[in-house]
Each structure stands twice: as C-alpha cells, then as structure tokens.
Structure 1
Amino acid sequence: MSSNEEIFARLKGNLIVSCQALPEEPLHSPYIMGRMAYAAMLGGAKGIRANGVADIQEIKKTVDLPIIGIIKKDYEGSDVFITPTMEEIDHLYREGVDIIALDATKRIRPDGKTISEIFPVIRETYPDQLFMADCSTYEEAAEAYRLGFDCLGTTLSGYTAYTTGKELPDVEMLGKIAADFPIPAIAEGGIWTPEQLKTVFGVGVHTAVVGTAITRPMEITKRFVQAIE
C-alpha cells in the first residue's frame, strides 16, 4: 500500500472508476468486476472504487491503482448500507484497501449510533487508515471534516430522504466543500458525461468518481431506451 500522501497525489486531477454490480444485476461477479477495472485502467482511470472483498481481491490481480473499498450491506431498521458497521471496516482493513469509504450521513446506523459517535472509535482503532466520508449535505461534510475523515465525497447527495430530487452532480455542494476544507473533495454521484466531469473539476475538486455511466450497461441502455420512448 502506498503512503497516504502518495495516494492522494496519484488521484489529484484524475478519474476514479467505480466498478460495482449488486447481486440482482447481470454483471455481478468478481471476475467481471476485475475485467471491468482492468478495462478502466487501460482507458486511463487512476483509481478504482469497488464493493466487497471478493471483487477487490480479483481487481488487485491485474490492476495496480489506489482502491476505494466499500462493503454494501443492508441491516434491518437502518437506511445506512455503505460500510455500515465496524465489521465491514475490519474486513476492508484486513484486505488492505487504500481508502475505506463509509456512509457519513446524519442517519442512525445499524448499531443505533450516529457517525459522530462511532467515527472517533473507528479512527482510534485504525489511526493510519485513510477514510472517505460519503455525505449527502454540506453540513454532513463539515461534521466529517471535524471528526477527522481524510477526504469528503458527495456520494449520497440525492440519495437520502432529505436530499431526494437534488440535481446531480451536486456542483454547488462540491464547490463549497472544495473551498472550505483543506482535505480532498471527491465528486461522486450523477456524473453522466465528460462535460459534467469537466464541470466538477472546474469547481476545485481533487478527484472524481464515475460509476454507472461507465460500468453499468443495463442502466446505460435504459437511458438510451428512455430517449426514444
């Protein structure tokens, strides 16, 4: 694993591609995600975001890029599903991902706590690990910075009950967090076109994640079909 400074230096001004497929999707397979990540690397991506230890292990066989690792898991009674508990963080840490991303919204987590209550414990347990805050509002990003996260993402803007309907990508939020906090702002969520990618870099983000528009052919196909219906 590279040094923390080196990881962010490698990502600065570059594209991260999210290679994920959920169990109900046709491309759900560590092998396919490994190929997807390899294709993204050949295309010029400088980082990969991936879900689950099996996918990450497969990706590492052919791809030598910084990896943002998450584990998506649903727990009854909580809307938090991106790396929701310490168990998922433990798995990702043992796998050795460069950055662990987790839900940093104000929502109650499966253990009944908030991010403000649990992150100090996470940080104390893994003092040298890089953590990315997946936020849905500027206020959540501000709190994540205060808590000691290493980078701030707009991943969940538009995906929480209180941000539904937000226009994506959330350029306004990105510009504010890029200007107000001295740690990397990461654009993620709703980037569908190269033009939108250039727009988010124009407001000062450190790096940007594009997923669905590159690696989810079913969703890409739906967009084309909707255009002619």
Structure 2
Amino acid sequence: MRSFPVRLERAALQGGLIVSVQAPEGSPMRDPQVIAAMAEASLRNGAIGVRLESPDHIGAVRRRCPEALIVGLWKRTFPDSSVYITPGWEEIQAVWAAGADVIALDATDRHRPAGQDLADLVRRASGDLRAPLMADIDSVDNGLRAAALGCQWVGTTLFGYTETTAGSRPPAWELLAPLRQQLPASTSLICEGGIATADQARSALQQGADAVVVGTAITGVDLQVAAYVGAIGR
C-alpha cells in the first residue's frame, strides 16, 4: 500500500501550479498520448503536478512521467444525481488503480448516484486504499465538512457549478480567506476554477490558497480557439 508522501503535504505545495490537462469528449486532444504530452510539457516548465480525468489518461501520464504528481478523477454522469466528479466507489478504485497520487472527488452536499454516502466513501478510500483525497467543493461549509471527514486537500473546483452556486462566477475569491482561517493547519487549500491569468493565480495565493489549478487557460485548446473565433466574429 502507498503511504502519504511528503510531497503531498501542505508545505510541499506552497506557491505551486497544478495544470489540469483535460479535453472534452469528441476532441482530438482527448487522445491519451496527446494528454500525456501536454502533461509532460507542463511538468518540464515548472508545474508541480497535473490534474487528469479518466483512468486511461492517468495511466498514460504515469507511464510517460513516472515521477509526476497526479491528481486523478473520473467524470461520469448518472440519471439520479448531478454529482459527476468521481461520484462513487467504483470510480475511486479505478482512479487509484490507474496510478493517481491524489483522488479528487465531489465533496458537496448533493445526493450521490445510487445513494452513496460521502462519509462512507472517504472512510473506505482512506482505510481500504490509504488514498489521499482532494475534496472538490462549492462552499465554506462543504470544505470544512470534507476536511473533518478526512480529505487532505480542499479545492474550490465546484464554486459556480452546483445548483446552490449557479449564480456565482469563479474564481472563488470569497471562499479562500474563510477556508484558510477555519481549515486545520495541515489541510491544503487549492484554488481551482476560473483562473485565467498569472495575476489571478498570484492573487489566489495571496488570499490564502496553497496552490492553484489552471486548466482551460493553459491546455483548453478547443475552448480557447472557439472563444477567439467568437470574439473576432468569424
């Protein structure tokens, strides 16, 4: 069983950039080897880790970059729940088996597929797998609850993307200071969602985040090109 590495502790993340290397369904960028190449390029240029979606992508990056710090997740949708980021035990096991160092999962208070319970999932992941967890949250209360359950990292990933925060727009500036003040000192606070510039990333760190996750602004070729084309009215 893997033990909790020193490089995952809060002190090791200070001021770091984690690049989310993902691509939408149907995109040619979604090829595992393309994802792995983008991940390697990110790491070569100073990223402390990468955030990857799906066991196939996690495995491809692990093979290409054996020493990479990988935050893994698996997006799956179910008709009985709006939770889609590593929603259940099957997804947790698959992400861990593929080679992730940290498993990211939805840690909001929403109903999970098949009535699965967040507290039970955290207990099983921590006990059966000894897997470090990143809680993707949308509010201060959910972040504190996730830390109390045993999640080592808390990320603002879902702020603006849940039913109760749909009227808000990331980045989650309003969550950073209260979370840092109230989270246990050992819990890492990650700002993720809506970071589009280096200045915003720096601001997130100044407001209490230990590290930042940036995705679309760096690796989102599909969305970035579409935005430029839309802006110039082509």
- Shorter-chain TM-score bucket reads over 0.9
Deviation for aligned residue 1:175:
1.9
RMSD: 1.7
Query: Could you tell me whether the CA contact under 8 Å between 1:107 and 1:114 is conserved in 2?
Result: no
CA deviations on 1:117-153 (whole Å, 9 max, x unpaired) are 5433433323x31101000111110110111111100
Q: Could you tell me how far apart the structure 2 residues matched to 1:220 and 1:93 are?
A: 30
Q: Could you tell me how far apart the structure 2 residues matched to 1:158 and 1:34 are?
A: 29
Deviation for aligned residue 1:19:
0.6
Q: Counterpart in 1 of 2:164?
A: 162
Q: Secondary structure at the match of 1:162?
A: helix
Q: Counterpart in 1 of 2:5?
A: 4
Deviation for aligned residue 1:193:
0.6
Q: Counterpart in 2 of 1:223?
A: 227
Query: Could you tell me whether the CA contact under 8 Å between 1:68 and 1:98 is conserved in 2?
Result: yes
Deviation for aligned residue 1:10:
3.8
Deviation for aligned residue 1:176:
1.6
Cα gap change, 1:195 to 1:74, in 2 (>3 Å): same
Q: Counterpart in 1 of 2:123?
A: 120
Q: Could you tell me how far apart the structure 2 residues matched to 1:2 and 1:17 are?
A: 24
Letter in 2 for 1:98: D
Letter in 2 for 1:113: Q
Query: Could you tell me whether the CA contact under 8 Å between 2:137 and 2:158 is conserved in 1?
Result: yes
CA deviations on 1:4-49 (whole Å, 9 max, x unpaired) are 3322344321100011123222311101100110111122111000
Q: Secondary structure at the match of 2:52?
A: strand
Q: How does 1:190-229 map to 2 (within 5 A)?
A: 190-229=194-233
Letter in 2 for 1:171: W
More off after superposition, 79-88 vs 16-25: 16-25
Query: Could you tell me whether the CA contact under 8 Å between 2:56 and 2:98 is conserved in 1?
Result: no
Gaps of 5+ in 1: none
Cα gap change, 1:118 to 1:6, in 2 (>3 Å): closer
* TM-score normalised by structure 2 residue count: 0.91
Q: Could you tell me how far apart the structure 2 residues matched to 1:89 and 1:68 are?
A: 12
Identity of aligned residues (%): 35
Q: Counterpart in 1 of 2:143?
A: 141
More off after superposition, 184-193 vs 113-122: 113-122
Q: Secondary structure at the match of 2:20?
A: strand
Q: Could you tell me how far apart the structure 2 residues matched to 1:209 and 1:139 are?
A: 21
* TM-score normalised by structure 1 residue count: 0.92
The counterpart of 1:88, out of the listed 86, 91, 101, is 91
Deviation for aligned residue 1:62:
2.8
Q: Could you tell me how far apart the structure 2 residues matched to 1:100 and 1:34 are?
A: 18
Q: Secondary structure at the match of 2:115?
A: coil
Gaps of 5+ in 2: none
Cα gap change, 1:96 to 1:28, in 2 (>3 Å): closer
Letter in 2 for 1:5: V
Q: Counterpart in 1 of 2:108?
A: 105
Q: Could you tell me how far apart the structure 1 residues matched to 2:121 and 2:12 are?
A: 29
Q: Secondary structure at the match of 1:27?
A: helix
The counterpart of 1:186, out of the listed 180, 184, 190, is 190
Query: Could you tell me whether the CA contact under 8 Å between 2:58 and 2:99 is conserved in 1?
Result: no
